[in-house]
Structure 1
Amino acid sequence: LRKVLERDIHHAPAYRMLASFYSRTGDVERASRVLTALDLLGFAEDTDRSTMQRLRPMRTAMPIRQPLGDEPRQRLLITPAVREPLGEIFEALAEEITGMVSSPSLGVDLQPVQSVGDARLTKIAAEISALYQLDVDLFVGDKVPGLAAVTAYPRRLLVLDRSLLTEPDLALRFLFGYAFEAIRGGYALLLHLGARQRRELVTLLRALVAPDGELTGPATELVDRASGRAAKVLERHAGLRDVDADAWISGMLACAKRGGLVACDDFSAAIWMVARLSGERLANHDASVALGAVLGGPDLVRFYLSDAYQQLRDSLSA
């Protein structure tokens, strides 16, 4: 059944059969996940929602007790984009490439999180910082473009718009996980690319894999300044053809969404916060129903229902 959903996440009967299987085997948590996804994709019927309500009191919370180590992150969390040639090249030159892209605007009237006096926000930030094993400078400000500004270089930084302080715990946990995964992976700049910046980055990435003698503009400068390790990575992938840099960027953004989902363990909260960060003006949390695939992307749906997600949650709550 999961193979069916790998091919088509809109195949509603497969969700019902999979939820029924998990219920019969006593796996209430995974049955609930399947029905939640069905609901947020807009396919749930009254009987599905009734089953969700019946299962809810039977669920057991799985608090995070362990940090996310490099091995489980590599094996269970990240998308294939990280291991693709462009992923290896970007990782080797992340700081240099970040320096070539204009930094996101941070908003105005910034305050360190500690001085805001929001104990709930401070607690959530500390928990997700421990999960991702990061020390990030946290601020709250006004008029923050996109509601959150995230940087990995030259400084690990997260600025939240003050309007987010009223968001529920789970939505904030998603946001911190989303940002911290991108910071840890060094690809935070991808979270803020405008259309022009994205085109320029796509052009740069394609140029970096061009054969020797075909490098132009900023790519030439990057190659000339590359460290020995980065130079070896570039040499290994030189001459690649038909590189889909747009798809690679989308794959990396999917990593950040996965990171947020792991931090909150709530698909509805994840979709709600993705909607907010995308500029969607939803009236309430119920308005995110039927937007699961649009806002989260097929990857997030599949990840939420996967064995890898279950293994990751098990390892973090052990």
Structure 2
Amino acid sequence: MKIAVDAMGGDNAPKAIVEGVMMAAKEYNDIEFLLYGKEDSIRKYLTDETNITIIHTDEKIASDDDPVRAVRRKKNASMVLAAQAVKDKEADALFSAGNTGALLTAGLLIIGRIKGIDRPGLLVSLPVIGTENGTFNLMDVGANADTKPENIHQYAILGSYYAQFVRGIKNPKVGLLNNGTEENKGNDVTKRAYQLLANNADINFIGNVEARELLSGAADVVVTDGFTGNAVLKTIEGTAMSMMKLIKNAVYENGTKAKLGGLLLKDSFSNMKDVMDYSKHGGAVLFGVKAPVVKTHGSTEKDAVYHTIKQIHEMLESHVIDDLVHYFEAKETLAE
């Protein structure tokens, strides 16, 4: 399998990207990495070139570039060339830590969406508290701010496939994020989405779930519109960071006894931080396009790059995209 990597995307590129690729390359000898970017800068961090090819380009898409204009005008940008390689079947997946809007645009305009899917969405894996390595999937987390009930319905199908094929969950539970668990809760979009989900025998829909239930594992897959999903994702991330800061301040500002207690609990605090670090579960997948397109945080370090590549490997190994294509093609045939 081949992964096209935008080596110049992200705040810490190319160092963090290349070092993360090096970590993954040591573990997965069945992956060939195509690194797109400035060759001299990339080669500086390479320790082994086995299964690695550098495709040189001086052009890249900056974090403040207009996404659509950048993808259309910067034809030789590292992200654009990597996306084109996937479209041309020279690579099987695209990975970037760069401009999120540009990556979404490249995924849609260059790689293209699966026939039958109106709007691909961003899917992330988040931790379930109280379980060892337990996660759930949330979709959409920002690809589409304005979402129709039909889009949320498709997110449920996409998320179910991901949970089943990539995570290995048989008959995954799907919940609709809402402001109450009752069927009649929510706005017009969520009420109509509820009916679509309830009437689809292909998914295991368990009804509405509230935001406070997410980290408790109320569902394996939770679907919502992109605006709400993005706000929830950033709230979870911000709360985790604030809690760690609060604990740290409590330890350092309450005398010797608190500091001694903090020292004794140092390992526990470290474990807590690891549990809340969703980057360890991979990146955000633009799900619904013809190949895996995966985005990790712009400020990502090498460990997060490694975990994201591990996630892409699992997606490619499971053939989840192929199964989705067959599913929606069958639906389209029946509709005709």
The TM-score, its normalising length taken from structure 1, stands at: 0.36
The TM-score, its normalising length taken from structure 2, stands at: 0.35
Greater percentage in strand: 2
